[in-house]
Amino acid sequence: MSHQNSGNLLSTNQLTPPLIEDDLTLEDKSRIAIGTTLRPGQKGTLALLKSYGEQLICVRYRYDKARGKRYKTVELIIEEQEWLPCEVIQRERYALIRIGIGETELRERVKTAGGHWSTEERAWVLPHRKVLELGLEGHIAPNGLV
């Protein structure tokens, strides 16, 4: 079955599958560059806005230098559902711990809890939560939370 070949329409034997970014090689991705991104209502989006309405997110012009082509693409909302954002997980904070030369038992407790010596800081480094678990808040160096 063949479509009329007028203007931009192609016959079915000339149709190629749409470009999907996951299928593009690195060479293809570097070749097809995004030039302009337009928001709904801007010049160049009005006809598409009439067609897609509130589903239209943006219109992009992409350029393929190797083929000398300009592509006009659209980003659409195709599904909407309720979503609750996950709790933000903050990176673990570390504390610099000062331990006196004679405090060998305390040093062994810090090492057992996963602490390690930092020659640069000249202090023991331990996750802050472990410092709290061990009750070592009084041993945290000045400006010792990193």
Entry field: residues in the chain: 146
The token pair at 34 is 């995004």
Other Cβ atoms closer than 10 A to 88: 5
* Each residue's pLDDT tens digit, 2-12: 333 333 333 33
Residues 131 and 137: beta-carbon distance below 8 Å: yes
* Each residue's pLDDT tens digit, 108-132: 999 999 999 999 999 999 999 999 9
CA distance linking residue 36 with residue 45, whole number of Å: 12
Q: What percent of the chain has pLDDT over 90?
A: 54
Mean pLDDT (whole number) for 12-16 = 39
What kind and span of H or E run contains 132? helix 128-134
Residues near 13 by beta carbon (within 8 Å), at least 6 away in sequence: 2
pTM reported for the whole predicted model:
0.42
CA distance linking residue 134 with residue 1, whole number of Å: 76
- pLDDT band for 19, please (50, 70, 90 cuts): low
Residues 123 and 98: beta-carbon distance below 8 Å: yes
